[in-house]
Homo-oligomer: A and B are copies of this chain.
Amino acid sequence: MARKYIDNPNACSLVHTMNIIGNKWKPIILYLLSNGSMRFGMLNTLIPTISKKVLTNQLKELENDGLLLRQSFAEIPPRVEYSLTEKAVGLLPVLRMLSDWANDAYPEMDFEQCRIVENGKSQLTTQN
């Protein structure tokens, strides 16, 4: 009788973390906010290949998971600022390690610039 679940606590919390941040855009959103709050439009400029719809969506999910604070100002034109919560700040050293690991494990690669392309992968622009 096969089990239908994973019964390892470390594996489960790992799975949980990946459910929250383990996709194409979220780590980079968190990383970009690590130096302070930022407006929606600025995020969209710094991640030029994301669509507004998807950016909105990712920001909403991060907010729901308690990683982002959204502040909307009653101005015209509207201004909305996103910033990291304490939870998210606790994740920054881990994001740093993830990025360090890539530099370490793939020393032949040049990570100066990259393009996040359609199929969910990224392209280093120096590889063109």
Stretch from A51-59, A74-82, A98-106 that touches the partner? A98-106
Are the CB atoms of A105 and B87 closer together than 8 Å? yes
| Interface residue from B18, B46, B87, B102 paired with A16 (Cβ < 8 Å) | B102
Are the CB atoms of A102 and B23 closer together than 8 Å? no
- A72 to B20: give the CA distance in the assembly, Å: 35
Chain A: how many interface residues by the 8 Å CB criterion? 61
Select from chain B the residue with minimum beta-carbon distance to A28.
B11
Q: List chain B residues, Cβ under 8 A from A113.
A: 5-7, 12
A15 to chain B, nearest CB (A): 5
A116 is an interface residue with CB less than 8 A from chain B: yes
- A11 to B112: give the CA distance in the assembly, Å: 9
- A105 to B89: give the CA distance in the assembly, Å: 10
Q: List chain B residues, Cβ under 8 A from A105.
A: 66, 87, 90-91
Are the CB atoms of B101 and A91 closer together than 8 Å? yes
- A32 to B14: give the CA distance in the assembly, Å: 11
Are the CB atoms of B90 and A101 closer together than 8 Å? yes
4 nearest CB pairs, A to B:
A13-B102, A12-B114, A12-B111, A14-B99
